């Protein structure tokens, strides 16, 4: 019978995996299985809304399609912030969820010969990848990480707006025909933003202080002179506590500090930073890079001076400092280790290509 055939078929399965291509509004889903002869089959595919209702419909659909006696995994890309709510939803319902960086998924899809690209093809590729590879399970660090992101991004918005209004005020002061009413309005807006900035600063410090796991590690990283709590908060918020990064290369690429070479045959173009990654991280690293050089933190001051001596511009040297500082913060966080100037000076000076 159909039922007995299904039972026999499910007993022959090794694993089943759901590949999910996540976008802002939709979830493209493909359920695939692998049997004991390593044959891969697609058992179903469907599109759901990336919303609470869509999540519930997905679970209902999946439970009607899956083989209950066989291991089930779920694989999705870390697509901006759009995957997080769904990943949390599945994690809280005890599904085995893996989340990978888009670059890793892209390399796999290219390796299996996928030349075309659309949401369904991506979901199908992820489903196959999840069957073939034993990927680490996604472990969200803390819901406070997501609260931090809301706070740090609003702080960034308020600071940007304040800068705009200050520039307008400066321009007005040098205007041939200044208008007092406009000046009063700008000053009022600036004061309101400064109050908001102060409140957000306090909320960030309070949130970290009240979370033991966050507070302990943040205090260890703050030992780097020039690195403050707000910088660390942004890095944690934008990387989910560095959870999805297996090595520093992935972090560097995600943050847009990876190097792009423009070279082919005899042509040797300009080598530059990609800047394709997370802009919030690069903005957060801007002032700390000045700080560690100003406070003469050994490896960073030496790196800056070495690059200037080689003819690099000040900005190029500071970007190299940002990159190295980011890697150090990541290493300290992953190892749950306090910054030790003597140890890390020697360690950093022997690591990697500074330029």
Q: Do 146 and 128 fall into the same domain? A: no
Which domain-ending residue is among 87, 111, 132?
132
Q: Do 37 and 91 fall into the same domain? A: yes
Per residue in 45-64, is it b (16+ CB within 10 Å) or e — as a string?
Answer: beebebeeebbeebeeebee
Higher pLDDT, 100 or 307: 307
Q: Do 338 and 250 fall into the same domain? A: yes
Q: Do 79 and 49 fall into the same domain? A: yes
Q: Do 97 and 186 fall into the same domain? A: no
pLDDT digits (tens, 9 = 90+) for 274-311: 667 789 999 999 999 999 999 988 789 999 999 999 99
* pLDDT value at residue 280: 93
Q: Do 117 and 21 fall into the same domain? A: yes
Q: Do 267 and 339 fall into the same domain? A: yes
In terms of residue numbers, what domain contains 30?
Answer: 13-132
Mean pLDDT of 326-334: 94
How high is the mean pLDDT of the chain?
85
Q: Is residue 8 part of a domain?
A: no
Q: Is residue 224 part of a domain?
A: no
pTM of the predicted structure, to 2 decimals:
0.71
Which domain-ending residue is among 107, 132, 157?
132
Q: Is residue 190 part of a domain?
A: yes
Q: Do 118 and 202 fall into the same domain? A: no
Q: Is residue 217 part of a domain?
A: no
Q: Do 102 and 22 fall into the same domain? A: yes
Kindly indicate the confidence band of residue 81, based on its pLDDT and cuts at 50, 70 and 90. confident
d(CA 322, CA 316): 10
Q: How many domains does the chain have?
A: 3
Q: Do 126 and 152 fall into the same domain? A: no
Q: Do 258 and 333 fall into the same domain? A: yes
Percent of the residues in the chain that have a pLDDT greater than 70, as a whole number: 86
* pLDDT value at residue 10: 59
Q: Is residue 109 part of a domain?
A: yes
pLDDT score of 116 more than 70: no
Q: Do 110 and 149 fall into the same domain? A: no
pLDDT score of 261 more than 60: no
* Structural contact between residues 19 and 123, judged by C-beta atoms closer than 8 angstroms: yes
Phi-psi region of 352 (alpha: psi -120 to 50; beta: other; left: phi over 0): left
Q: Is residue 219 part of a domain?
A: no
* pLDDT value at residue 28: 92
Q: Is residue 181 part of a domain?
A: yes
Q: How far is CA 78 from CA 59, 185, 239, in A?
A: 20, 42, 10
Q: Is residue 266 part of a domain?
A: yes
Which domain-ending residue is among 73, 98, 132?
132
* pLDDT value at residue 346: 59
């Amino acid at each position: 019978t159909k039922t007995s055939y299904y039972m026999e078929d499910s007993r022959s399965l090794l694993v089943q995996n759901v590949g999910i291509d996540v976008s802002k509004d939709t979830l493209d889903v493909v359920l695939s299985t692998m049997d004991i002869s390593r044959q891969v089959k697609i058992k179903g595919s469907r599109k759901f809304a990336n919303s609470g209702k869509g999540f519930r419909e997905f679970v209902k659909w999946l439970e009607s399609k899956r083989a209950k006696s066989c291991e089930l995994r779920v694989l999705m890309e870390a697509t901006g912030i759009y995957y997080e709510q769904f990943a949390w939803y599945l994690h809280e319902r005890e599904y085995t969820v893996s989340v990978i960086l888009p670059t890793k998924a892209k390399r796999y899809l290219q390796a299996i010969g996928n030349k075309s690209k659309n949401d369904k093809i991506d979901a199908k590729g992820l489903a196959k990848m999840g069957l073939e590879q034993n990927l680490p399970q996604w472990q969200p660090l803390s819901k406070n990480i997501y609260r931090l992101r809301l706070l740090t991004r609003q702080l960034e918005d308020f600071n940007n707006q304040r800068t705009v209004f200050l520039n307008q005020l400066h321009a007005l002061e040098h205007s041939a025909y200044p208008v007092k009413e406009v000046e009063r309005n700008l000053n009022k807006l600036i004061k309101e933003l400064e109050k908001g900035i102060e409140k957000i600063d306090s909320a960030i410090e309070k949130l970290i202080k009240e979370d033991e796991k966050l507070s302990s590690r943040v205090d260890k990283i703050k030992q780097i002179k020039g690195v403050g709590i707000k910088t660390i908060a942004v890095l944690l918020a934008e990387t989910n506590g560095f959870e999805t990064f297996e090595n520093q290369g992935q972090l560097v690429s995600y943050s847009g500090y990876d190097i792009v070479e423009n070279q082919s045959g005899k042509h040797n173009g300009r080598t530059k930073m990609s800047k394709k990654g997370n802009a919030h991280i690069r903005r957060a690293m801007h002032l700390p890079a000045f700080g560690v050089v100003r406070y003469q933190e050994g490896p960073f001051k030496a790196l800056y001076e070495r690059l200037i001596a080689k003819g690099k511009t000040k900005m190029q040297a500071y970007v190299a400092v940002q990159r190295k500082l980011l890697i150090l913060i990541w290493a300290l966080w992953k190892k749950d280790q306090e910054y030790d100037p003597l140890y890390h000076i020697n360690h950093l000076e022997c690591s990697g290509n500074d330029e």
